[in-house]
A and B are shown apart, each in its own frame.
Chain A
């Protein structure tokens, strides 16, 4: 018995579904950003396994795009967390509607 694509598909689908469900079920802005990072990791795993089992192609461009999105998200999170944390906000997304205006 060898490692078939089903293993990697199943793992990446499980990680991706946990990430999306985390965005749905969480109230904290930081946890929501962490959930989207989990989804990006699952996308990377799926693309690498498809590259390995499929016909190949140029993978690094796609991976660098996803890495860039992930690091940009993390930097945006720092800005949100530091400035809203200093302003004694709770980062509860249900209360973020008060930020309007």
Chain B
């Protein structure tokens, strides 16, 4: 029971930190790597909801599709030539929007906790990390590392030597 809460907290911290990092770094390629980390952490959050199929689909579509498009788009010419984000404005705006969104939910928090006690007792909490999903994640992370390594080698060695 506590394992899922700890895992969820770690994933939430990872996701929110990677979002802040997207707006902090100057290299757009690093922003896209951080966006991929957000996609992976969100697909792992689906596993805490016992939805391995949706997690695998999320990994396939977002990390395999969208991140690959973005990598291809920005791999060769990555750096932003100007300061692109006002981080203070980002944090203040996010806090205001978050407060406006969470206020009606937090004022009725008891209803939500009652709703959870009906469903979680019958759901398969202990099987949130199915064996097939673990294999799938290992393969996906290996492929992701291979892609990143290829880009790093391409940048280090340089394209000119291969022509």
Contact = CB atoms under 8 A, between A and B. Distances in A.
Interface of A: 1-11, 13-22, 24-28, 30-31, 34, 37-38, 41, 44-45, 48-49, 52-53, 59, 63, 67, 70-71, 74-75, 77-78, 81-82, 85, 90-92
Interface residues of B, number: 69
B97 interface: yes
B4 A31 contact: no
Contacts of A28: 28, 80, 82, 84-85
A13 B73 contact: no
Given A18-B94, A41-B42, A11 B15 contact: yes
Contact of A26 (B23, B46, B77): B23
Interface in B103-156: 105-106, 109, 112-113, 115-117, 119-120, 123, 125
B125 to A, nearest CB: 8
Given A4-B113, A11-B15, A18-B19, 6 more contacts: A6-B112, A13-B101, A21-B94, A22-B19, A26-B84, A48-B54
25 contacts: A2-B116, A4-B116, A6-B109, A7-B5, A8-B45, A9-B105, A11-B45, A13-B98, A14-B16, A15-B42, A21-B92, A24-B89, A25-B85, A26-B85, A27-B85, A31-B28, A37-B35, A38-B19, A38-B22, A52-B49, A53-B119, A63-B54, A71-B66, A77-B73, A78-B73
A21 to B, nearest CB: 3
Nearest to A30: B28
B76 to A, nearest CB: 9
Contacts of A74: 65-66, 69-70, 73
A60 to B, nearest CB: 8
A98 to B, nearest CB: 15
A31 B85 CA distance: 8
A74 B84 CA distance: 19
A5 B117 CA distance: 10
